[in-house]
Amino acid sequence: MGSIEAIGIDAITFSVPRSYLDLGDLAVARGVAADKYRLGLGVSQMAIAAADEDPVALAAGAGSRLLAASGRDPSEIGFCAVGTETAVDHSKPVSSYVHGLLGLPSRCRVFETKHACFGATAALLSATEWIASGAARGRAALIIASDIARYEIGSPGEPTQGAGAVAMLVSERPRLLELEVGRTGSFARDVHDFWRPLHRKDALVDGKFSVECYLDALGHAYRDWQEQAAGGEPLVRTCYHVPYGKMAHKAHRVRSSVDGLDEAAADRDFELTVAPSLRFASQVGNIYAGSLYLALASLLHAEAAALEGRRIGLFSYGSGCAAEFFAGRVAAGAAAMVARLDLGAPLAPGARARLTIPAYEALRRDDASADRRASEVSSERPFAFLGVDPAERRRYMSGILRDG
Ligand code: HMG
Beta strand residue intervals within 278-339, DSSP E: 311-318, 322-330
pLDDT band at 402 (very low <50, low <70, confident <90, very high): very low
pLDDT band at 48 (very low <50, low <70, confident <90, very high): very high
Residue 44 clears pLDDT 70, i.e. is over it: yes
Residue 375 clears pLDDT 80, i.e. is over it: no
Q: pLDDT value at position 1?
A: 45
Q: Which residues are catalytic?
A: 85, 117, 241
Q: pLDDT value at position 364?
A: 87
Mean of pLDDT values over 277-300: 98
**How much is the mean pLDDT over the chain?**
94
- Going across the sheet that includes 353-354, the strands are 45-48, 19-22, 353-354
pLDDT band at 371 (very low <50, low <70, confident <90, very high): low
How remote is the CA of residue 157 from the centroid of ligand 1, in Å? 8
Task: Tell me the C-alpha distance between 98 and 104, whole Å.
Answer: 8
pLDDT band at 365 (very low <50, low <70, confident <90, very high): confident
Q: pLDDT value at position 404?
A: 35
Residue 89 clears pLDDT 80, i.e. is over it: yes
pLDDT band at 373 (very low <50, low <70, confident <90, very high): low
pLDDT band at 360 (very low <50, low <70, confident <90, very high): very high
Q: Which atom of ligand 1 is nearest to the CA of 151?
A: 41
How remote is the CA of residue 156 from the centroid of ligand 1, in Å? 7
CB burial string 93-108: b at 16+ within 10 A, e below: bbbbbbbebbebeeeb
Task: Tell me the C-alpha distance between 283 and 144, whole Å.
Answer: 20
Task: Tell me the C-alpha distance between 45 and 308, whole Å.
Answer: 30
How remote is the CA of residue 207 from the centroid of ligand 1, in Å? 7
Q: pLDDT value at position 403?
A: 42
How remote is the CA of residue 20 from the centroid of ligand 1, in Å? 20
Range with the lowest mean pLDDT among 45-54, 65-74, 113-122, 223-232? 223-232
How remote is the CA of residue 258 from the centroid of ligand 1, in Å? 23
Q: Return left, alpha or beta for 288; rule: phi > 0 is left, psi -120 to 50 is alpha, else beta.
A: left
Ligand 1 atom 2: residue of nearest CA: 156
Mean of pLDDT values over 193-208: 96
Q: Which atom of ligand 1 is nearest to the CA of 320?
A: 56
Percentages helix, strand, coil for the chain (3-state, rounded to 5) are 40, 25, 35
pLDDT in tens, 226-261: 998 877 899 999 999 999 999 999 999 999 999 999
SS3 of 281, please?
helix
Q: pLDDT value at position 39?
A: 97
Mean of pLDDT values over 274-295: 98
Residue 80 clears pLDDT 60, i.e. is over it: yes
Determine contact, residues 293/62, Cβ cutoff 8 Å: no
Q: Which atom of ligand 1 is nearest to the CA of 38?
A: 25
Q: Which atom of ligand 1 is nearest to the CA of 250?
A: 21
Mean of pLDDT values over 199-227: 97
Q: How far is CA 149 from CA 46, 194, 286, in A?
A: 10, 12, 6
Among 28, 37, 41, 191, say which to mutate for ligand 1: greatest number of ligand atoms within 8 Å of CB.
Answer: 41
Q: Is the dihedral of CA 133, 100, 281, 272 positive or negative?
A: positive
Domains for the chain: give ranges and CATH numbers. Answer: 7-398 (3.40.47.10)
Task: Tell me the C-alpha distance between 326 and 312, whole Å.
Answer: 9
How remote is the CA of residue 41 from the centroid of ligand 1, in Å? 6
Ligand 1 atom 51: residue of nearest CA: 319
Residue 369 clears pLDDT 60, i.e. is over it: no
Q: pLDDT value at position 31?
A: 98
Ligand 1 atom 5: residue of nearest CA: 156
Q: Which atom of ligand 1 is nearest to the CA of 211?
A: 47
pLDDT band at 132 (very low <50, low <70, confident <90, very high): very high
Ligand 1 atom 24: residue of nearest CA: 40
Q: Return left, alpha or beta for 56; rule: phi > 0 is left, psi -120 to 50 is alpha, else beta.
A: alpha
Q: pLDDT value at position 229?
A: 83
**Ligand 1 environment, Cβ below 6 A:** 33, 35-36, 39-41, 85, 116-117, 156-157, 160, 193-194, 205, 207-208, 210-211, 214, 241, 243-244, 246-247, 286, 288, 317-319
Task: Tell me the C-alpha distance between 164 and 63, whole Å.
Answer: 12
